[in-house]
A and B are shown apart, each in its own frame.
Chain A
Amino acid sequence: MHLLNRYKWPALIGIAPALVIYLLFAIVPIILSFYYSVMDWDGFTKMKFVGLANFKEALDDPVFWGALKNNLLVVAASVFGQVPLALFFALLINRKLKFGKVFRTLGFMPVVISTVIISLVWGMMYNSRRGLFNQLLEGIGLGDWAQNWLGDPKWAMFSVCVTIIWQFIGLYLIIFLAALQNIPEEIYEAAKIDGASGLKRTLYITLPMMRNTIMVAVILCISGSLRTFDLIYVMTTGGPGHTTEVLAMYMFDQTFSSTRYGYGSTLSLFIFFFSLALVYLSTLILRKRGD
């Protein structure tokens, strides 16, 4: 094409601002963390090269493994909680109901609200004395079931997961609704004439046609739920006794409470590669099953 070479310089000028900012403040930090990850540094005294000692320390720390386990738990809760519920409600809303749009609006609302606000409100709802849940249980005569939802190690992770599931069902709901609207009406008409019932139409037409979208939603759900940090930080700061600790929380603690920037960078790298690997793996598995 004749346009290419003539406009090399303008193109360079046009792309440069975005590229420079992106490189400096998204890519460079990751490269930097490779450098810092082999150092021991408190930010004031001289940096000391320690080789792979930081990596070994992380792998030897049971709290690290506990955090990793919790990360996977959040991923599992999200995938098995958010995606099926979202699909179920999307199928209901898609039935051309009179107020379908209202439910869509309500369903997506939590996704738009800041995680900090959601965490604070849910934190108050979980409050052991004045929280919504315990008052509700008391109100219906089940006061014995009241719990210290976020303070009890047995319940803390469960409570956190419920909030996480609640927060993001709406995202997948919207994705599924968009996909449902793309299924041509004629297919249903044909199936109706052949005498397929509503449930059969859903099982044998809608769901198979949605398979790609469902897979995309699952992958999105995995990568999204790996990013859980704000919610845990605000609701529990990883407690009680590390029971709700996730990798990012552990990293934050180690870096800024004990000012160990080298070790924190090592943990950053773990998070980076762990996330990429999990997303890549899930893409592989889901693709294979699709073939």
Chain B
Amino acid sequence: MAHVMAEKQKNIELRKESNKGRRFSKKALIYLLLVIYGLVNAYPMFWMFLNSFKSNIDFAKNPFGLPVQWLFDNYKTAWETAKLGTYFFNSVIVSVAAVAVTIFAGAIASYFLARFAFKWGKMVYAFFVFGMLIPIHATLVPMFLLMKSLGLLNTHLGLILPYIAFNLPITIFILVSFMKSFPRDIEESAIMDGCGVFRIFFSIILPMTRPALATVIILNFINNWNEFSFALVLINDDSLKTLPLGLANFAGQFTTNYGAQMAGLTMAVIPVIIIYLLLEDYLVKGMTAGAVKG
């Protein structure tokens, strides 16, 4: 009897052991797949970064390894001869101005759409949200003609205005759904005390909306910073080009100088990657807001 029991115990232990082994190898496989996935995602940027320090000869001879000699000159070339500084400055101006107006106009509009039940409120909201469906490219040609007749071609303003218009829908969508979640009696007591609606907005609603505001600010900024097609159509003057447009241009001129090209791209991508790593959660929330809510 005791013998049989011992045998059984041993069997169970053996099975546990093999289960453990199977689980371990399964886990290893999962990690392997994920590491490959991670590498495939990160490697192009890493490749660009590494090669931005190489001379052309070094790049041709040794495409995968570390640079034989770290050439920081590539960065100087890209910044100075390619006017990356100018493009950078233009991108900052256009992005910041567009974000500021979008957030301000969007927040105040969202406040009225979310907190007051007007007859036409729902319609106006639906009209704004419809904007998320408009394919930007369908407006490139008429936008060019519109800006031409307004005399806004080749101006910062001519770029800022469409950026605001096309970021308002998602901004209002996110802010309205956030502001709707506040309890109703918040403003009621304030109104009883004789507080004006705009004061309620600035001193009560806006501070409460801070997390959603952070999301839309970052989302807007990244959208504007990366935008290419409007800039391509509306800006022709080299001194007004934004970073994506300037980079596309500069790559055309520097087809032979790989190092400088990659140095320019690295400089353009670093601010975005830093913002992303620091504020990932906000950015992820913003970019998936449209999808998760349906």
Contacts and interface: CB of A to CB of B under 8 A. Distances in A.
Contact of A25 (B113, B140, B143, B294): B143
B41 interface: yes
SS of B interface (majority)? helix
A109 B142 CA distance: 33
Contact of A116 (B141, B162, B244, B258): B244
Contacts of A108: 276, 280, 284
A103 B37 contact: yes
B12 interface: no
A267 B105 CA distance: 32
A227 B135 contact: yes
B128 interface: yes
A97 B31 contact: yes
Interface in B213-265: 222, 225-226, 228-229, 232-233, 243-245, 247-248, 251, 258, 261-262, 265
A251 B42 contact: no
Given A105-B280, A130-B60, A271-B137, A17 B38 contact: no
A193 interface: no
Contact of A117 (B245, B269, B287): B269
Interface stretch (B3-11, B71-79, B116-124): B116-124
A255 B105 contact: no
A190 interface: no
A18 B107 CA distance: 9
B2 interface: no
Interface string A35-57: 01000000100000000000000
Contacts of A139: 64
A181 to B, nearest CB: 11
Given A4-B117, A115-B228, A117-B247, A251 B140 contact: yes
A174 B294 contact: no
A111 B135 CA distance: 18
B90 to A, nearest CB: 14
Given A106-B41, A121-B47, A268 B142 contact: yes
Contact of A112 (B40, B60, B136, B272): B272
Contacts of B141: 33, 36, 251, 255, 261, 264-265, 267-268
Nearest to B138: A272
Interface stretch (A5-13, A72-80, A200-208): A5-13
A60 B146 CA distance: 28
A257 interface: no
B257 to A, nearest CB: 12
Contacts of B226: 113-116
Residue among B38, B41, B198 with the highest chain A CB neighbour number at 10 A:
B41
A15 interface: yes
Given A112-B272, A117-B244, A220-B290, A15 B142 contact: no
Given A15-B124, A121-B47, A130 B258 contact: yes
A21 B165 contact: yes
A234 B228 CA distance: 10
B47 A18 contact: no
A271 B172 contact: no
B66 interface: no
B265 A132 contact: no
Given A7-B116, A120-B248, A21 B164 contact: yes
Interface string B89-119: 0000000000001000110110111001110
Contact of A233 (B232, B247, B272, B273): B232
Contacts of B272: 112-114
Contacts of B136: 227
A1 B34 contact: no
Given A174-B284, A264-B141, A109 B244 contact: no
A92 interface: yes
Nearest to A220: B291
A120 B116 contact: no
Interface centre among B44, B229, B269 (most CB of A within 10 A): B44
Contacts of A230: 228-229, 244
Contacts of A223: 133, 135
Nearest to A35: B142
A99 B38 CA distance: 11
A8 B124 CA distance: 14
A271 B135 CA distance: 8
Contacts of A33: 138-139, 141-142
B182 to A, nearest CB: 14
A178 B191 CA distance: 39
A132 B60 CA distance: 10
Contacts of B44: 118, 121-122, 125, 132
A101 to B, nearest CB: 9
11 contacts: A26-B166, A33-B142, A107-B41, A115-B244, A124-B261, A171-B288, A175-B291, A255-B144, A268-B137, A272-B134, A272-B135
Given A97-B31, A102-B38, A116-B244, 19 more contacts: A4-B118, A14-B109, A21-B105, A21-B164, A26-B169, A30-B139, A103-B34, A106-B37, A106-B42, A113-B45, A114-B244, A114-B268, A120-B251, A130-B258, A178-B292, A179-B292, A213-B291, A213-B292, A230-B229
Nearest 9 Cβ contacts at the A-B interface? A25-B165, A272-B138, A114-B226, A29-B142, A18-B109, A248-B137, A116-B244, A264-B141, A18-B105
